[in-house]
Amino acid sequence: MIQSIIKNVKNAPHSGHLASYIPALANQSKDLFAACLVDERGEILTFGDVDYLFTLQSISKVMSFIVAADHLGLDRVLEKVDVEPTGDPFNSIVRLEVAEKGKPFNPMINAGAITVASLLPGDSVESRVKSVTDFISKVTGRQHSVNQEVYQSEIETAYRNRAIANYLKANDYLIGTVDEALETYLQLCSIEVSTVDLAKFGLFLANDGLPLNENTKLITRKTAQFSKALMMTCGLYNTSGKYAATIGIPMKSGVSGGVLCTVQDGQVEHLKGHMGIAVFSPMIDEIGNSVKGMDFLQQLSDYYKLSVF
Amino acid sequence: MIQSIIKNVKNAPHSGHLASYIPALANQSKDLFAACLVDERGEILTFGDVDYLFTLQSISKVMSFIVAADHLGLDRVLEKVDVEPTGDPFNSIVRLEVAEKGKPFNPMINAGAITVASLLPGDSVESRVKSVTDFISKVTGRQHSVNQEVYQSEIETAYRNRAIANYLKANDYLIGTVDEALETYLQLCSIEVSTVDLAKFGLFLANDGLPLNENTKLITRKTAQFSKALMMTCGLYNTSGKYAATIGIPMKSGVSGGVLCTVQDGQVEHLKGHMGIAVFSPMIDEIGNSVKGMDFLQQLSDYYKLSVF
Amino acid sequence: MIQSIIKNVKNAPHSGHLASYIPALANQSKDLFAACLVDERGEILTFGDVDYLFTLQSISKVMSFIVAADHLGLDRVLEKVDVEPTGDPFNSIVRLEVAEKGKPFNPMINAGAITVASLLPGDSVESRVKSVTDFISKVTGRQHSVNQEVYQSEIETAYRNRAIANYLKANDYLIGTVDEALETYLQLCSIEVSTVDLAKFGLFLANDGLPLNENTKLITRKTAQFSKALMMTCGLYNTSGKYAATIGIPMKSGVSGGVLCTVQDGQVEHLKGHMGIAVFSPMIDEIGNSVKGMDFLQQLSDYYKLSVF
Amino acid sequence: MIQSIIKNVKNAPHSGHLASYIPALANQSKDLFAACLVDERGEILTFGDVDYLFTLQSISKVMSFIVAADHLGLDRVLEKVDVEPTGDPFNSIVRLEVAEKGKPFNPMINAGAITVASLLPGDSVESRVKSVTDFISKVTGRQHSVNQEVYQSEIETAYRNRAIANYLKANDYLIGTVDEALETYLQLCSIEVSTVDLAKFGLFLANDGLPLNENTKLITRKTAQFSKALMMTCGLYNTSGKYAATIGIPMKSGVSGGVLCTVQDGQVEHLKGHMGIAVFSPMIDEIGNSVKGMDFLQQLSDYYKLSVF
């Protein structure tokens, strides 16, 4: 049955648009499509361009939160960023100013993620970014690096993010310099992964921190719980509530077209138990979610009853 | 083990305060405590004052959403109210005005619930309220009525809610008159239930609309899913995100001190599978959640691993 | 020269629209035009339909502020309403909620004027409204009454104002009941005056409270100063700043098409010294100011150098 | 009589505080006091430390607006910044985001002044700053320069202003780079003047652009009008409305403790006609206005009837 879902989604006419704010994203082929599911025993299903590399963009917010929480302890991270959903688009400043003291609402919006970037281990942008790429490598089993072309494009036009970062600094929600935090954040957004990598990361979350084929958990159960809850309540910008209701699994999307998902307990064909799921298709809607990605996940969740609700 | 959790929670020193804005709530005994769990087979655990009647307050937002969706169809309800969490306290007007067109963010905040109250079946306040009490009766197996003393107190000081209702009307998010919507909403808040009733309602949601000991589902799977997702993402005012991370089950609290919970699949002592859980203790924190109620649910979820994350 | 200004303005093609939210305003003839200037010696210039009666609408905010200040003392009025301009349209709720404690910004926006209406002398809506009509009569020398048709239309659709009034009550910036304050406010908006009446009121302000042909000041110098300063900084909704720069005299407009002006010291033809000026033309722009009215005042101020700047 | 006002004000006990955000301001002597009045014939009154140099801070917003309007034309400046008062403290971001398209409300708040700084003539920070110091020199008859120590302190902690500048750039309300605009703005704030210089500038405005002892107007009548109207409606942060009512002349204050005033027509002792007034005392209130400065101006306006209202 999953074959037929894939076929439906791939053959559907395109809607949405390629992310247009940087050339590297605007020039992707709109026909790219990949999906991957992997379960706790290592059983795997792959469809389409699963080795194509794309940048994490907002999906990196999950990884950086985990690394910061692992480094400083969850409680100290929560002193600098709340975990409440906002209903606002991901780069709003109004929320920062109206909320008491300017504390960012959660690590899945830009403000929160910039704060989190400033909390990563290391004494330079490079070492902080490396703390995240190294961590992802432990989960995926291969090296990851920053796409410098994408990063350069991002940083040249990051006026709104730079405004947010300065505002956070003014209110003491940023460690170190504004430039370091912003550069770290944008480099994290530019880390490249494949759809298979993302699916493995989803499994790692379902496993509460145990990578595929490993024996040692990398993070605490509580950090895993917070990460998954944040993905459920805030993972899809200001459509998180709608998709929690209709799809019902923790997900995090990025404007490059990827979606990271984690399933606590389910069965899809011969896969079962904890599962990681990832999908990639670069045409996004006006909210910033992959159109075909969300379509695939909706049909998958409906047919295989993956919703936690 | 649950006995010991109950004992811990009951014996802990009181913190928080009784809801003070109306006499009926301010005069409750702060020592009241009740908890009830019931599973899909009818197995039940009860502790404390489980037959004590209290008013639903914000918990009624779940019931009215369900009845409106059952009556009009979910899609027509969603034309008038979104399902996105907000991170704002439950009676904010700023959110209404800054968001495009003044559409209320979700049915769990006052604005959304007042809109939903205006969408209930019936041609009078009485018939609309009766549509909800009748519905609750089908789930609990006994009659429910409005506590008129509480209602009178509520309506006399409902300036902020009346402001919201007029604002909704000005923006065409209210059917009928402002007074009807507001009176309906406040009567719904004043419906009395016991902790056992609430637990049965939680089971009904876990069952996707099937009441205990019945053969017929009362609502669609989709309406049940939306209700549970809304409870998870917006059920506990602006601490919903935190409790999704730490407790991880759909919950809805009210300032009277009750909390409604639903568990999709779990095991607590000899209870298992779908479960409804309710807890009641009238001392609330500054957010509006029962202090001992949340404490009980946290320990229960931790010990019996009830979180969906 | 003033003849030629009048001719220019009257003959210019119409732009703008009639206020459309109530029938009484929507059905006015768009060709109505009147202007009147009167100086401290009683010299008077009149043009067009100067005896045509129209409703004060927002212009009444000046009169009610004066009566309330005269009754309670300026300081006690300022405890309930600030005198700061806002840059916001006249019926915003955001400003109320974001500002500390919900205090209305000034008496020239709806929120402030509703608060002021609740501070008028009297123990009923009728007596409060009468306190203002009586006061206007002392200035104009003739009786004034409420246009009941306009008032009925206003009150039927006053959702946004009713939202504001309830919000003010919730924050303790309203004396008495919400209904009384709102009814008083809307009756004040519906008081009828002629263009000649308004010009006399403008002169009364320039005279610091001395009506034409009278010997006794009705109000304190300080109340007159506050009224004129408020007209300058907040009298023309969110175009007050622009017109302060270009026309430069205290003015207050209403959506019925009238504009009240006061000139501290000037010369227009054979008129000189303190002057009152009023203009009326019912076609308004999207802000709510009379298009031909503002056009006339701009040319008048430019030619006769009436700006205080 | 003015001698006695001066004595009263100087001898009054201190209240308020020294601006504390940079050392250069925090270390001023709180006993410094200066006042200067000069009329169109060159008659002058001086009191206290009138040659003491202090930095313009927010007073520079008047000068930069004038130079930008003179350079580009008023209309082109108004495309990038409105002239509406806001009722908000001077460094708010909420106003920028809620207002349509992020256009700054007026040139007297930080957002508007940063935009204006980006519109100054020149192709470097230095040349833009020089355009303003040169302009001030034409008015005062002596050289002005930037206090580099103050500027360095300012720029090191300018997180909030940098946030605003980036936000303006993101919304296309800034010409050139963010760094250039911000550096220009902060250098302008750090230009040093004496109280006599400021009084001459006030006279220049009253003269509609004619410096003392000169024959040629430097700016258009319209630019002078806009400048004075902006000072009246927005010159004193969110107390502008109050002081327009009580003092009633165009004024602009800075956190260094200076206040620039302009009087269109008045008489103070043997001075008369157009007048410039300046006062300096470094202890400021929580709004940012000089406590003794405002006290002096209030008494002066009351006694000599300087209010335009």
Taken as a whole, chain B contains a residue count of 309
Looking at residue A227, its pLDDT comes to 98
Looking at residue A103, its pLDDT comes to 87
- What distance in Å separates the CA atoms of residue D113 and residue D116, rounded to the nearest whole number? 5
Give the residue from D301, D309, D307, D308 showing the smallest Cα distance to D37: D301
D2-55+192-304 classified as CATH 3.40.710.10? yes
Q: Is the pLDDT of residue C55 over 80?
A: yes
The overall average pLDDT reported for chain D is: 94
Q: CA of C237: how far to CAs of B143, C250, D241, in Å?
A: 55, 13, 14
Looking at residue C100, its pLDDT comes to 55
When pLDDT is averaged across residues D174-193 and rounded to a whole number, the result is 97
Report H helices in D87-177: 94-98, 110-117, 125-140, 148-156, 159-170
Identify the band that residue B87 occupies on the pLDDT scale cut at 50, 70 and 90.
Answer: low
Choose, from A77, A129, A255, A259, the residue flagged as catalytic.
A255
Q: Which helix (H) or strand (E) holds B36?
A: strand B34-39
- Using an 8 Å Cβ cutoff, are C95 and C86 in contact? yes
Enumerate the residues of chain C whose CB falls inside 8 A of the CB of residue B170: 159-160, 163
Taking 3-state DSSP, the helix, strand and coil percentages for chain D, each rounded to the nearest 5, stand at: 50, 15, 35
Looking at residue A238, its pLDDT comes to 86
Which phi and psi angles does D272 have, rounded to 5°?
-155, 170
Q: Is the pLDDT of residue D94 over 90?
A: no
Residues belonging to chain D with any Cβ–Cβ distance to chain C shorter than 8 Å? 82-88, 94-95, 98-99, 105-106, 222, 224-226, 228-230, 232-234, 238-242, 244-246, 248, 250, 264, 307-309
- What distance in Å separates the CA atoms of residue C118 and residue C77, rounded to the nearest whole number? 10
Looking at residue C97, its pLDDT comes to 57
- Using an 8 Å Cβ cutoff, are D305 and D295 in contact? no
Q: Is the pLDDT of residue D83 over 80?
A: yes
Enumerate the residues of chain A whose CB falls inside 8 A of the CB of residue D178: 159, 162
Residue type, A166: N
List Cβ neighbours of B100 (8 Å cut-off, separation of 6 or more): none
Identify the band that residue A105 occupies on the pLDDT scale cut at 50, 70 and 90.
Answer: confident
Identify the band that residue D50 occupies on the pLDDT scale cut at 50, 70 and 90.
Answer: very high
- Number of other CB atoms surrounding residue A4 within 10 Å: 10
Touching chains, A (3+ CB pairs < 8 A): B, D
Give the residue from B299, B295, B300 showing the smallest Cα distance to B267: B300
Identify the band that residue A88 occupies on the pLDDT scale cut at 50, 70 and 90.
Answer: low
When pLDDT is averaged across residues A102-113 and rounded to a whole number, the result is 90
Identify the band that residue C86 occupies on the pLDDT scale cut at 50, 70 and 90.
Answer: confident
Looking at residue C50, its pLDDT comes to 97
The gap from C-alpha C31 to its chain's centroid, in whole angstroms, comes to 22
- What distance in Å separates the CA atoms of residue B84 and residue B103, rounded to the nearest whole number? 11
Looking at residue D105, its pLDDT comes to 87
Taking CA–CA distances from B165, the nearest residue in chain C reads C163
CATH topology of domain D58-189: Beta-lactamase (3.40.710)
Q: Is the pLDDT of residue C200 over 70?
A: yes
When pLDDT is averaged across residues D77-91 and rounded to a whole number, the result is 78
When pLDDT is averaged across residues A103-123 and rounded to a whole number, the result is 94
Touching chains, C (3+ CB pairs < 8 A): B, D
CB contact under 8 A, D242 and C83: yes
Taken as a whole, chain C contains a residue count of 309
- What distance in Å separates the CA atoms of residue C34 and residue C258, rounded to the nearest whole number? 9
Is position D292 annotated as part of the catalytic site? no
Angle at A182 between CA A178 and CA A187, to 5 degrees: 150
Query: Who has greater pLDDT, C160 or C201?
Result: C201
- What distance in Å separates the CA atoms of residue D86 and residue D233, rounded to the nearest whole number? 9
Residue showing tokens 């138990």: A273
β C258-268/C271-280 pair status: antiparallel
Q: Is the pLDDT of residue A94 over 90?
A: no
Rg, C-alpha atoms of chain C = 18
Q: Is C193 helix (H, G, I), strand (E, B) or coil?
A: strand
Which phi and psi angles does B81 have, rounded to 5°?
-150, 135
- What distance in Å separates the CA atoms of residue D238 and residue D288, rounded to the nearest whole number? 10
Looking at residue A40, its pLDDT comes to 97
When pLDDT is averaged across residues C59-67 and rounded to a whole number, the result is 98
Asked if ipTM goes beyond 0.85, one says yes
Looking at residue D89, its pLDDT comes to 53
Q: Of the candidates C98, C160, C169, which has its C-beta nearest B167's C-beta?
A: C160
- Using an 8 Å Cβ cutoff, are C233 and D244 in contact? yes
CB contact under 8 A, C92 and B97: yes
CB contact under 8 A, A309 and B98: no
Q: Please write the tens of the pLDDT for every residue from D209-233.
A: 999 999 999 999 999 999 999 999 9
Q: What proportion of chain C, given as a percentage, has pLDDT over 90?
A: 87
Looking at residue D277, its pLDDT comes to 98
- Number of other CB atoms surrounding residue A142 within 10 Å: 12
Q: CA of A161: how far to CAs of A189, A192, D24, D288, in Å?
A: 12, 21, 31, 29
Taking CA–CA distances from C163, the nearest residue in chain B reads B163
Q: Which helix (H) or strand (E) holds C280?
A: strand C271-280
Looking at residue D24, its pLDDT comes to 85
Is position A292 annotated as part of the catalytic site? no
CB contact under 8 A, D164 and A163: yes
pTM score, two decimals? Answer: 0.93
The gap from C-alpha C40 to its chain's centroid, in whole angstroms, comes to 20
Looking at residue B238, its pLDDT comes to 86
Looking at residue D98, its pLDDT comes to 55
Enumerate the residues of chain B whose CB falls inside 8 A of the CB of residue A240: 84-85, 233
Q: Would you state the structure tokens that stand for residue B120, as one six-digit string?
A: 């209930």
Distance from CA of A83 to the nearest CA of B (A): 6
When pLDDT is averaged across residues A134-156 and rounded to a whole number, the result is 97
Exposed, middle or buried, A78 (CB in 10 Å: 0-12/13-18/19+)? middle
Asked whether the CA dihedral B256, B246, B223, B51 is positive or negative, the reply is: negative
CB contact under 8 A, A233 and B85: yes
The overall average pLDDT reported for chain A is: 94
- Number of other CB atoms surrounding residue A277 within 10 Å: 31
The overall average pLDDT reported for chain C is: 94
Report H helices in chain C: 2-11, 23-26, 60-72, 74-80, 94-98, 110-117, 125-140, 148-156, 159-170, 178-189, 195-206, 221-234, 240-246, 291-304
Give the residue from A160, B93, A105 showing the smallest Cα distance to D102: A160
Looking at residue C23, its pLDDT comes to 87
Looking at residue D102, its pLDDT comes to 79
Identify the band that residue C157 occupies on the pLDDT scale cut at 50, 70 and 90.
Answer: confident
Q: Is the pLDDT of residue C125 over 80?
A: yes
Identify the band that residue B243 occupies on the pLDDT scale cut at 50, 70 and 90.
Answer: very high
Q: Is A146 helix (H, G, I), strand (E, B) or coil?
A: strand
Is position D185 annotated as part of the catalytic site? yes
When pLDDT is averaged across residues C55-81 and rounded to a whole number, the result is 97
Asked whether the CA dihedral A264, A267, A273, A278 is positive or negative, the reply is: negative
Where do you find CATH 3.40.710.10 in chain C?
A: 2-55+192-304, 58-189
DSSP label of A27: T
Q: Please write the tens of the pLDDT for every residue from B244-283.
A: 999 999 999 999 999 999 999 999 999 999 999 999 999 9
Q: Is the pLDDT of residue B182 over 90?
A: yes
Q: Which of C100, C114, C164, C167 to mutate to test the interface with B (most CBs of B within 10 A)?
A: C167
Q: Would you state the structure tokens that stand for residue B121, as one six-digit string?
A: 């079946």
β A54-55/D271-280 pair status: unpaired
Enumerate the residues of chain D whose CB falls inside 8 A of the CB of residue A92: 97
When pLDDT is averaged across residues C87-115 and rounded to a whole number, the result is 74
- What distance in Å separates the CA atoms of residue C130 and residue D213, rounded to the nearest whole number? 57
Q: Is the pLDDT of residue A96 over 70?
A: no
Side-by-side strand order, sheet with D258-268:
D44-48, D34-39, D271-280, D258-268, D251-253
CB contact under 8 A, C309 and D99: no
Touching chains, B (3+ CB pairs < 8 A): A, C
Q: Is the pLDDT of residue D23 over 80?
A: yes
Bridge partner list, C194: none
CB contact under 8 A, C241 and D233: yes
Looking at residue D230, its pLDDT comes to 97
Q: Is the pLDDT of residue A87 over 90?
A: no
Q: Please write the tens of the pLDDT for every residue from A196-205.
A: 999 999 999 9
Q: Of the candidates D94, D162, D163, which has its C-beta nearest A94's C-beta?
A: D94
